Amino acid sequence: MKYAYYPGCSLHSTGQEFDKSLRAVCNILGIELVEIEKWVCCGAAGAHNVSKLLATALPIQNLALMADMGLDEVLVPCAECFSKLKTAQHSVKTDKKLKRDVVKALHKDCNEEAQVIHPLTIFAEEPLISKIPTLVKRDLSGLKVVSYYGCLLTRPPKITQFDIAENPVSMDKVLKAVGITSLDWSCKTICCGASFALTKPEIVVKLSHKLIQEAKSVGADAIAVACPLCHVNLDTRQSDMEKAFGTHPQMPILYVTQLMGYSFGLSPEELSINMHLTDAESILKKVSQAR
């Protein structure tokens, strides 16, 4: 299996654990990732507030670069980038004038046929979902995890076409496939407040704290995520939550790919689990048993 790969800016900096663990897991699963040459930022949380044309042109530039490389399917792990690429593609398909303007701004065609795919989608489907259990080397059945999908993978569903919008299950399926005990909860797609991470952190602290409390109330040992923005909010804001609400939540936040990689026998260092601000290594060491 060979895919173009669009890491996006976060996966080269604050979300580099996601990049590293995804690459490691893909390597084991036999997926070849070809990073799009000279990819640019998708515009993320900035461009859409100032210009629809810019917010559409930047993602499309990356799809156009992909066409130059002769690849038609791209894996996009960051939920924000995934949403922006999908939205831009939908916009040029449905708005002819916007499409003309984008072509003029890029001096490139729009590559409407490109398939923008989130890694969870291919992990949760055949053939990989059957292959995953055969690769497991550590028994993590003692680990209870809730899957947090956040906003942008599932919404708006007519654009992202990811899983089931109100109750997505792909991450739960993947966690079960590696033998982790996946718990049901009601906050799978509730917002963590990511867009205010830099402008109004108190909002992030409040919303993310609520999510962690919900995860605790169903008995979760950790929260699995698939978005670098969700990860930063939930992981790095726990000291602020202590200041605001009195107790440090001590809730490990792990990328789904880190949990997969750990069950496949990779070390915490190979998956950058030691880079999180809230300790996530201890719980893994405590519950895991070699198979």
Partner 1 sequence: MTEAIQIDEKASRLSDAVAAAGGIDVSYCYQCGKCSTGCPLAYEMDLKPTQLMHAIQLGLKDLVYNSKTMWMCASCYTCSVHCPQDVDIAEVMDTVKIMMLREKRTPKVPDVLKLSRCFVENLKWFGRMYELGMVGMLKLSTGKLTQDMDMGLKMFKKGKFNLLPGFTGAWAVRNIIRRVNKQEKA
Positions in the binding site for partner 1 (CB under 8 A): 9-10, 12-14, 16, 38-41, 43-54, 57-58, 61, 95, 101, 104-106, 151-152, 155-157, 165, 190-191, 193-196, 198-201, 203, 207, 236-237, 239-240, 275-277
Tell me which H or E stretch contains 212. helix 201-217
Report how far apart, in Å, the C-alpha atoms of 60 and of each of 38, 54, 244 are. Answer: 13, 10, 41
SS3 13: coil
CA gap 4, 28 in Å, rounded: 17
Min dist CB 53 to partner 1, Å, is 5
CA gap 78, 89 in Å, rounded: 16
Min dist CB 103 to partner 1, Å, is 11
Q: Which is nearer to partner 1, 73 or 240 (CB)?
A: 240
For residues 120 and 226, the answer to whether their CB atoms sit within 8 Å is yes
Give the number of other CB atoms < 10 A from CB of residue 253: 27
Min dist CB 128 to partner 1, Å, is 28
Min dist CB 156 to partner 1, Å, is 5
Q: Which is nearer to partner 1, 91 or 263 (CB)?
A: 91
Q: Which is nearer to partner 1, 24 or 122 (CB)?
A: 24
Q: Comparing C-alpha atoms, which of 230, 229, 224 is closest to residue 273?
A: 224
For residues 58 and 37, the answer to whether their CB atoms sit within 8 Å is no
Q: Which is nearer to partner 1, 243 or 291 (CB)?
A: 243
Q: Which is nearer to partner 1, 51 or 141 (CB)?
A: 51
Min dist CB 223 to partner 1, Å, is 17
